[in-house]
Structure 1
């Protein structure tokens, strides 16, 4: 397996000198830190109550404990060896990676399985590309009054406490580049075996959103779907006495384990329209509010598809596409907007075993500012048409083979529907 950042392929990652390989993540000292270097999110939440509560419902919070991630990580450890899971941990469990709790075995300590936490994001000193190519430097964290920070962590305590010098704390924790899209690039861009598997940052960079200066934070850290100029307004459901509090539930991503915001924002991001013309059904799906492709991220898992049902004058089904079969799989030949990865033999990957990927077999996702138009020839007996735009977090094969009942089956969500009655 080869890894790369921003398309640049690295050689012999397992023989690299970094203690974090094959992840391209690194620490400011190029060493593993003591566990106390990163205070828990609960420590931050003692003062930042609204932000902490908001973060608790986020996918960032669940990135290292979600059953789908753990099952996939164990599969990687089984096939490639336990150290290989550091590749996943660079983004899913960065504190575990930085403190050496992952890699020897496939599971990190539960005590620091907080996912992408406050003290990790707010102590990054540099982001140099995808594949978790960041530099983590928790040295700016200063002792907290009545906190659980340990002086024995190896970081020299500063001469003042946070509450005695809040301006210094703000400077430590709010670097200007945290408001740039590049800050998100390291964990939202992934290349393995010279195959671009996740390209959210690149998709944004090629969109009108980037040209207009709308950053990732301009959509994902503000209430509602799409960009807003009110970046500094309060978290809607978590009022705070201070101004400039950004939403930390982020939105988007999973509708199975995410918040209700994810569902509403996904619906708002896409628009469905259709028309009947000369015996054909033309369905258009437009990406109207996402500054990247839909789906994005784990695009080999996310399923966005069109379901069409045609009935005759007596209500009998005479045409269908996009229906689920007995095994909950999408009917072959249906219109599905997603990415299909292939192994070295050109066979589709269905287990999210992305380390086996050697090619992209197809990519039918809907790009930012873009649309897809699909045509269906209709039987002459069709009188009533019902079209639905549907979403599911993962295919039935992945759930049956990898997840194996560890969680409830991924829900099918209706994003939009359209109906038509012919005379």
Structure 2
């Protein structure tokens, strides 16, 4: 196991635990003053749901369970140190520990209970949900695999999607299938999937390698970047739909082509509709959430982990630059009676393949 990775995990967890406590306290106070109730699950059925097909509903994850368990990212780092370093401190790595997410999760848990809040947990810690380890908000006492959020093993264990079988017939709420391995006459065998044909010796006997065309498509990301209300199934977050209806989808530029590359490559992909070369892809999963990087960097500094702090500062700078490159600002002075009376401001989306801002727009701001 990678020693630095373990220390880094504790560093992030230490300050995040403190931040979550403060943030959750604020949210609970807000919830109390707003008079939130706790409605029982099982109200009017607007969409039919096969609960046997979706056993973790309202999370739509499916787990192809076998004797092969999940693999912690520190184990993956032994053969993939570069990819591990890129993933470390990413929004995927911090998906479950994110204090803003934990605060929102706590609010949901108080309002509707764990049976409903599991919808959120399914995408923020898939392994923690299917194994039954996560039973509500908070990070204390959880295994490294659950805390790792969207780790290497999660993405590379996805064997398919059930987008056409969801209540709405659209990607939503984690509609993917996890298949970390299979049972064989010789015992459990780990199976990992990637976008390209396996090279000779791939997996080095530790796991089997399979080519997965799904990993080259936006459908892979759609499962968790399309969030619908757990009961009425109206869209709460529609990043995938925004992309699908826009010019980038028509030109074959997918999520991976902008969020898994360096800034310069992102600009080229967006401006020229040119897909990156294979050698240009990275495991940054970088977007515009610079606040999360800022908080995580503060945690690393507090814990004395300079290497991790530097890693997170780099990702913070990337997020700020990416956001700056996604929009253009135009100012129009308006004069009346020979004097400046007002300034009109226009913000244009020039490079984001979806709306700007996107995701949970009720908590997103741009200035």
TM-score between the two structures when normalised by the length of structure 1? 0.58
Q: Which residue of 2 aligns with 1:256?
A: 291
Distance in 2 separating the partners of 1:174 and 1:65: 31
Output aligned runs, 1:20-39, within 5 Å. Answer: 20-29=56-65, 37-39=69-71
CA RMSD, aligned part only? Answer: 3.2
The verdict on how the C-alpha distance between 1:181 and 1:230 changes in structure 2, with shifts beyond 3 A counting, is closer
Distance in 2 separating the partners of 1:140 and 1:168: 17
Q: For the Cα contact (< 8 Å) 1:27–1:136, is it kept in 2?
A: yes
Q: CA shift at 1:157, angstroms?
A: 6.4
Q: Which residue of 1 aligns with 2:238?
A: 199
Residue 155 of structure 1, aligned match among 177, 182, 188: 188
Distance in 1 separating the partners of 2:58 and 2:256: 28
Q: CA shift at 1:208, angstroms?
A: 0.7
The verdict on how the C-alpha distance between 1:50 and 1:212 changes in structure 2, with shifts beyond 3 A counting, is same
Q: Which residue of 1 aligns with 2:253?
A: 214
Q: Render the CA deviation track for 1:135-164: whole Å, top value 9, x for unaligned.
A: 11111699xxxxxxxx9xx83469xxx998
Greater gyration radius: 1
Q: Which residue of 2 aligns with 1:412?
A: none
Output aligned runs, 1:319-334, within 5 Å. Answer: none
Q: Does 1:134 align with 2:169?
A: no
Q: For the Cα contact (< 8 Å) 2:253–2:275, is it kept in 1?
A: no
Q: For the Cα contact (< 8 Å) 1:273–1:284, is it kept in 2?
A: yes
Higher normalized helix content (fraction of residues): 2
Residue 281 of structure 2, aligned match among 227, 234, 246: 246
Q: CA shift at 1:203, angstroms?
A: 0.6
- Using the TM superposition, name which of 185-194 and 246-255 deviates more: 246-255
Q: Render the CA deviation track for 1:224-265: whole Å, top value 9, x for unaligned.
A: 1445346236xxxxxxxxxx3621112213111232210000
Higher normalized strand content (fraction of residues): 1
Q: For the Cα contact (< 8 Å) 1:269–1:287, is it kept in 2?
A: yes
Q: Render the CA deviation track for 1:3-61: whole Å, top value 9, x for unaligned.
A: 9xxxx953579x767441221111124xxx67x61101111111111110010021000
Residue 187 of structure 1, aligned match among 224, 242, 253: 224
Partner SS state of residue 132, structure 2: coil
Q: Which residue of 1 aligns with 2:123?
A: 91
Q: For the Cα contact (< 8 Å) 1:221–1:246, is it kept in 2?
A: yes
Q: Which runs of 5+ in 2 are unaligned?
A: 1-38, 164-170, 192-197, 294-314, 337-341
Q: Which residue of 2 aligns with 1:111?
A: 144
Q: CA shift at 1:213, angstroms?
A: 0.9
Structure 1 consecutive aligned stretches of length 4 or more whose deviation exceeds 4 Å:
15-18, 167-171
The verdict on how the C-alpha distance between 1:253 and 1:174 changes in structure 2, with shifts beyond 3 A counting, is farther
Distance in 1 separating the partners of 2:320 and 2:69: 36
Partner SS state of residue 332, structure 2: strand
Q: Which residue of 2 aligns with 1:302?
A: 364
- Using the TM superposition, name which of 110-119 and 170-179 deviates more: 170-179
Q: For the Cα contact (< 8 Å) 2:61–2:174, is it kept in 1?
A: yes
The verdict on how the C-alpha distance between 1:17 and 1:215 changes in structure 2, with shifts beyond 3 A counting, is closer
Partner SS state of residue 236, structure 2: strand
Q: For the Cα contact (< 8 Å) 1:270–1:287, is it kept in 2?
A: yes
Q: For the Cα contact (< 8 Å) 1:54–1:247, is it kept in 2?
A: yes
Distance in 1 separating the partners of 2:40 and 2:277: 41
Q: Which residue of 2 aligns with 1:378?
A: none
Distance in 1 separating the partners of 2:218 and 2:330: 32
Structure with bigger RCO (C-alpha 8 Å, 6+ apart): 2
Distance in 2 separating the partners of 1:10 and 1:156: 38
